[in-house]
């Protein structure tokens, strides 16, 4: 459904101005989601100075720029109840491969950093992933609670892009062995893969 159509439908079905067409739960969840987004952007700002790998720094900068646009579009939709000047754009990450490396390699047990000097790129990717997971959850809840159709669409359209950013971070973590992915034994995997079967068509014949 298009933003413009949603805005027209809203104005046609409500006597109040578009910017006043919000429910209480919607505003609570929108406030929480936008506040979480602000927190994530500010954390990105703090992490940037500690990054060692230029590739990770480029990724963080690109994501921070995108999240800033999400923030501006969401705030505009919240304040006006109308289609934002810039609608949510598609986030495309630049990594050429999306292959996951499976299996576990022995590694030293981890302990929490005891000083800022111990904060490294592995730590930072974990922080980034935490921000993105939190934002994706908060935006989903806000979209489900939104009564204003334009604000709902802004939240909903942003979610796949936040997920894509989290996937970008995961691939970087996995490639650098920050995030290892264990697998089940072949027979156990097959049992899980084959544990459901499709439903036979129940459509009546024409």
CATH number of the domain bearing residue 175: 1.20.1260.10
**What is the pLDDT, as a whole number, of residue 10?**
42
| Better-predicted residue by pLDDT, 200 or 94 | 200
Token pair of 64, please? 């921070």
**Within a domain: residue 5?**
no
Are 172 and 55 in contact, with CB atoms under 8 Å apart? yes
Closest residue by Cα to residue 41 from 69, 78, 76, 74? 69
9, 21 in Cβ contact below 8 A? no
- Residue 77 counted as domain residue: yes
Question: What was the pLDDT predicted at 46?
Answer: 94
In sequence order, what are the residues at sequence separation of 6 or more whose Cβ sits closer than 8 angstroms to the Cβ of residue 40? 67, 131, 132, 134, 135
Note whether residue 138 is domain-resident.
Answer: yes
| Half-sphere exposure at residue 80, Cβ-oriented, CA atoms within 13 angstroms | 14
| Confidence grade of residue 183 (pLDDT, cut at 50, 70, 90) | very high
Selected residue with higher pLDDT from 82 and 11: 82
What's the structural domain count of the chain? 1
204, part of any domain: no
- Work out the pLDDT band at 3, boundaries 50, 70, 90: low
Examine residue 135 and state whether it is found in any structural domain, yes or no. Answer: yes
d(Cα 37, Cα 43) in Å, to the nearest integer?
Answer: 10
Q: Residue 175 has what pLDDT?
A: 94
Dump pLDDT digits (tens) for 137-150. 999 999 999 999 99
pLDDT for 1 beyond 80: no
Range of the domain at 125: 22-93+119-193
Tell me how far apart the alpha carbons of residues 146 and 21 are, in angstroms, rounded to a whole number.
10
Contact 138, 38 (CB under 8 A): no
pLDDT score of 9 more than 60: no
Structure tokens at 157: 């359209």
SS3 assignment, position 102: strand
DSSP-assigned letters across all residues of 111-130:
---SSGGG--HHHHHHHHHH
Q: Is residue 206 part of a domain?
A: no
Residue 136 in any domain: the answer is yes
Query: In the structure, what pLDDT confidence band is assigned to residue 87 with cuts at 50, 70 and 90?
Result: confident
8 Å CB contact between 132 and 169: yes
Q: What integer pLDDT is reported at residue 7 of this predicted model?
A: 46
Which of 5-9, 78-82, 146-150 has the least mean pLDDT? 5-9
Summarize the confidence of residues 159-183 as an average pLDDT. Answer: 95
The pLDDT score that the predictor gives to residue 11 is 46
Tell me what the pLDDT averaged over the chain comes to. Answer: 89
pLDDT tens for 92-139 read 987 778 899 999 988 888 899 899 899 999 999 999 999 999 999 999
Residue 1 counted as domain residue: no
Q: Compute the distance between CA of residue 137 and CA of residue 149 in angstroms, rounded to an integer.
A: 19
């Amino acid at each position: 459904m298009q933003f413009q159509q949603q805005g027209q439908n809203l104005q046609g079905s409500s006597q109040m101005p578009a910017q006043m067409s919000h429910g209480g739960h919607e505003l609570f969840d929108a406030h929480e989601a936008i506040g979480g987004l602000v927190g994530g952007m500010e954390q990105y700002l703090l992490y940037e100075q500690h990054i060692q790998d230029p590739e990770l720094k480029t990724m963080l900068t690109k994501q921070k720029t995108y999240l800033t646009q999400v923030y501006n579009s969401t705030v505009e939709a919240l304040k006006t109840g109308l289609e934002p000047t810039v609608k949510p754009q598609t986030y495309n990450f630049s990594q050429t491969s999306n292959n996951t490396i499976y299996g576990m390699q022995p590694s030293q047990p981890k302990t929490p950093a005891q000083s800022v000097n111990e904060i490294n790129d592995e730590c930072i990717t974990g922080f980034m992933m935490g921000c993105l997971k939190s934002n994706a959850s908060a935006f989903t809840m806000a979209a489900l609670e939104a009564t204003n159709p334009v604000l709902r669409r802004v939240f909903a359209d942003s979610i796949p892009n936040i997920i894509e950013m989290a996937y970008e971070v995961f691939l970087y973590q996995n490639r650098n062995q920050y995030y290892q992915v264990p697998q089940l034994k072949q027979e156990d995997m097959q049992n899980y893969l084959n544990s459901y079967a499709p439903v036979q068509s129940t459509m009546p014949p024409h």
